[in-house]
A and B are shown apart, each in its own frame.
Chain A
Amino acid sequence: MYLCNLSGPQNVADASCEPSALFSAVGVRLAQVRWSRYNPSFLEPEVNKELYQKPFNELSEEEKEKQELKAVRPIKAAPPSISSSVFSDPMISKFTNMMMKDGNKVLARSLMAQTLENIKRKQLEKYHRAPDDEKETVECNPYVIFHQALKNCQPIIGLSNITRGGKTYQVPVPLKDNRKRFLAMKWLITECRENKHRRTLMPEKLSEELIQAFNNEGPIIKKKHVLHKMAEANRAYAHFRWW
């Protein structure tokens, strides 16, 4: 009764593999923060309930070692933006934080909620308008649409500036997972802030872009293809990369 009315993500399998990929295996930051209030020996907290309910025998070697390590090391406090409920999704939290301006988390969260509601409404309209045999193909879950849209927007290869002999070349470079996710979200947000009519609101524009990206069409997918083509064109300079 206290939580929002939207139904939680039905396809939790997609959501559950994302959170572990956002942090490294052991829960220790790969790049050490220069100065943190926590001692470096503190490990990241694991909020997902299902991982704790697995019986001991089903765990693999790696997970057993991780568990033993967690038993002796102190753990950081869970941040206020995440919780163990089905409604808290790490991708959605990250996207909300990127949308936030001047620390106004309340506004960012309400915009996100309105966006998901808009997606649901549009998909439901489409569902009811579709003939009976096509009704099953219409995806109504806004969380599934969000995750799939972001996945479709992620570029595989990026360009990096390398200076050789005074000239700067655009060298094609493989991107890390974090970087891909960040670029997809960044493109979405900039697209929705800049290329819209003065009177359209953010949730409306965002929901439209997300549905288009889900169907592999729209300006962000086009931007991704343009980047891939540039990388393909600059294939000759690929040997400049040393990492």
Chain B
Amino acid sequence: MAVVAAGRVLLLGGRWSAATASGGPSAQTLRLIYTTTAAWRKNIAASGPEKYTEAFIKKQIEEFDLGKRHLANMMGEDPETFTQEDIDRAIAYLFPSGLFDKRARPMMKHPTEIFPEQRKIQWGEDGRPFHFLFYTGKQSYYSLMHETYEKLLNVQKHQDQLAAQGISPQKEKKNLVGSRWVTKTELEGMLLEKLSDDDYSRFIRLLEKLMTLPCSDIEENYIKKFSKEIAVQLQKVSVEPLKYDEQGVAFSTGEGVRKTSRATAVVYGSGTGKITVNGIDVLHYFPVLQDREQLLFPFQFLDRIGKHDTTCTVSGGGRSSQAGAIRLATAKALRSFVTEKEVEFMRQAGLLTVDPRVRERKKPGQEGARRKFTWKKR
């Protein structure tokens, strides 16, 4: 009879859930618990980031591989050698999108790139956590610190042993310049855990302490896990070969940008040092001395002032930014005429870098980009 009553009440708002009281004799009695609609709406924010099970990810990977093969068939290409670039091109062709943000456009990527790597559940069925440092909150970080300190103690023990035998360890100075430590984001990716700046700097200091010890070569493999190589800057830039026009004169082109100016320069191998900008002689186009100095800067740096003729076209910006754009363009063009060592010198003199400084926007509530309105007491 109580169950029938509960069934009738369900037609109204609210939800009545029946709960059996645990216990022997009164096991049949139902305790009615009233909850409102507002209470059983799920608190999405409190439940944390969405958790993906292993089975789910596996299924996604299978679907992705199958979809890739279908796509290859649709495009008429070989499914075995269909790379990610081909997928991107095919999707861009089949689903053209006019959206500005690249991340908003349709994409088809491998599930490991879309679903972020997550940690598995850290506790067993009985609720007991697996890792002994679970209750510190940052178990991977503290276990990493413990491991690194263990290595440090190991090295010190080895050093003491050598000292007891009478051998003083000699350390050759390692070249630190070509390598860097992992950044905070990379370390967070490795540990799958959020770190604070303080935690990160403590870890790096410990690693540096480990590295400065004489016998640290024993733990070199461990240290290598946390260091990355920096490529020499020069290798990133490829120098174009010289081109020859109809008269057989060698020439080279370069493009330069500064603020809103865009410039292209053509530097000829043989000449008297004449510079022509947009068909006008440089003395007329740039009446200010500073701009002409900037145009001559690359030539003066390489001691080639009277040796090259230059023809430039420039548009946009003001007088100083146009001069800066042409300077960059001529420096880039001169790379083809000059040895690799001199290209490196030009780079170190700042001639080959694009100046990223642009006008800062005005903000609301302020008079300009930085200047605030006059403060009045009342």
Residues of A within 8 A of B (CB): 2-4, 37-38, 45-47, 49, 52, 65, 68-78, 80-81, 83-85, 87-88, 105-106, 109
Contacts and interface: CB of A to CB of B under 8 A. Distances in A.
B20 interface: no
A-B pairs, top 3 by smallest CB distance, nearest first, are A45-B350, A78-B350, A77-B355
A105 B301 CA distance: 24
Contacts of A3: 289, 292-293, 296
A71 B232 contact: yes
B233 interface: yes
B348 A46 contact: yes
B288 A45 contact: no
B177 A47 contact: no
B349 A45 contact: yes
Interface of B: 175, 177-178, 230-234, 282-283, 288-290, 292-294, 296-297, 300-301, 320, 323-324, 328, 344-345, 347-351, 353-358
B186 to A, nearest CB: 15
A77 B358 contact: no
A78 B346 CA distance: 10
A76 B233 CA distance: 13
A2 B292 contact: yes
A45 B300 contact: no
B293 A75 contact: no
A67 to B, nearest CB: 9
A94 to B, nearest CB: 15
Contacts of A52: 345, 348-349
Given A72-B233, A83-B297, A4 B289 contact: yes
Contacts of A45: 348-350, 353
Given A68-B177, A75-B350, A85 B232 contact: no
Contacts of A46: 348-349
10 contacts: A2-B289, A3-B296, A4-B289, A47-B350, A72-B177, A73-B230, A75-B353, A83-B296, A84-B297, A88-B293
Given A72-B177, A80-B320, A49 B301 contact: yes
A37 B348 contact: no
A211 B320 CA distance: 33
A40 to B, nearest CB: 12
Given A75-B348, A77-B328, 7 more contacts: A52-B349, A75-B347, A77-B355, A83-B293, A84-B349, A85-B293, A105-B290
A2 B290 contact: no
A78 B345 CA distance: 13
B353 A84 contact: no
A47 B294 CA distance: 13
A77 B332 CA distance: 13
A38 B356 contact: yes
Nearest to A74: B233
